[in-house]
Amino acid sequence: MALRSRASLQPLREETMGEAITRASEVIRRLMREARFGALATLEETGAPYASLVAVAPDETGAPGLLISRLARHTQNLARDSRASLLLAASGADPLDSPRASLLGRVVPAAEGSDIRARYLARHPNAAQYADFTDFGFFTLELAEAHLVEGFGRIVTLPAKGLLTDWTGADEVRESVEGVVSHMNEDHADAIALYATRLLGEPEREGVAWRMIGLDPDGCELAGGDVVRRLDFPQRVTGRGAVRQVLVQLVTQAREKMP
- The β-bridge relationship of strands 64-69 and 83-89 is unpaired
130 in Cβ contact with 138 (< 8 Å): no
124 torsion bin: left (phi>0), alpha (psi -120 to 50), beta (else): beta
Look at 146-160, 175-189, 219-233 and tell me which has the smallest mean pLDDT: 146-160
Give me the CATH number covering residue 239: 3.20.180.10
Same domain (yes/no): 108, 177: no
Q: Which of 138, 159, 180 finishes a domain?
A: 159
- Is residue 1 one of the residues assigned to a domain? no
Same domain (yes/no): 193, 251: yes
Same domain (yes/no): 140, 226: no
60 in Cβ contact with 119 (< 8 Å): yes
Instruction: For residue 99, give the 3-state DSSP assignment.
Output: coil
Q: Mean pLDDT throughout 206-212? A: 94
**Residue 173 and residue 165: Cα distance in Å, rounded?**
12
- Is residue 219 one of the residues assigned to a domain? yes
Same domain (yes/no): 84, 195: no
Position 10 pLDDT exceeds 80: no
Q: Which of 133, 159, 185 finishes a domain?
A: 159
Closest residue by Cα to residue 90 from 160, 150, 22: 150
Same domain (yes/no): 145, 31: yes
Q: What is the pLDDT of residue 14?
A: 63
Tell me the residue type at 56: V
Same domain (yes/no): 198, 128: no
Same domain (yes/no): 187, 113: no
Tell me the residue type at 251: V
Chain segment 113-159, per-residue pLDDT in tens: 889 999 999 999 999 999 999 999 999 999 999 999 987 778 999 99
Q: What percent of the chain has pLDDT over 70?
A: 93
- Is residue 205 one of the residues assigned to a domain? yes
Q: What is the pLDDT of residue 5?
A: 41
**Residue 75 and residue 8: Cα distance in Å, rounded?**
38
Chain segment 14-32, per-residue pLDDT in tens: 668 888 889 999 999 999 9
- Is residue 58 one of the residues assigned to a domain? yes
Position 7 pLDDT exceeds 90: no
Residue 68: which H helix or E strand, with range? strand 64-69
Same domain (yes/no): 100, 210: no
- Is residue 6 one of the residues assigned to a domain? no
Q: What is the pLDDT of residue 85?
A: 99
> How many structural domains compose the chain?
2
Same domain (yes/no): 135, 218: no
CA atoms within 13 A on the CB side of 193: 13
- Is residue 236 one of the residues assigned to a domain? yes
Chain segment 50-74, per-residue pLDDT in tens: 999 999 999 999 999 999 999 999 9
pTM for the full model? 0.89
- Is residue 98 one of the residues assigned to a domain? yes
Same domain (yes/no): 86, 189: no
- Is residue 16 one of the residues assigned to a domain? yes
Give me the CATH number covering residue 153: 2.30.110.10
Q: Mean pLDDT throughout 188-212? A: 96
**Domain range enclosing 83:** 12-159
Same domain (yes/no): 34, 110: yes
Q: Which of 103, 127, 159 finishes a domain?
A: 159
Same domain (yes/no): 115, 192: no
Position 93 pLDDT exceeds 60: yes
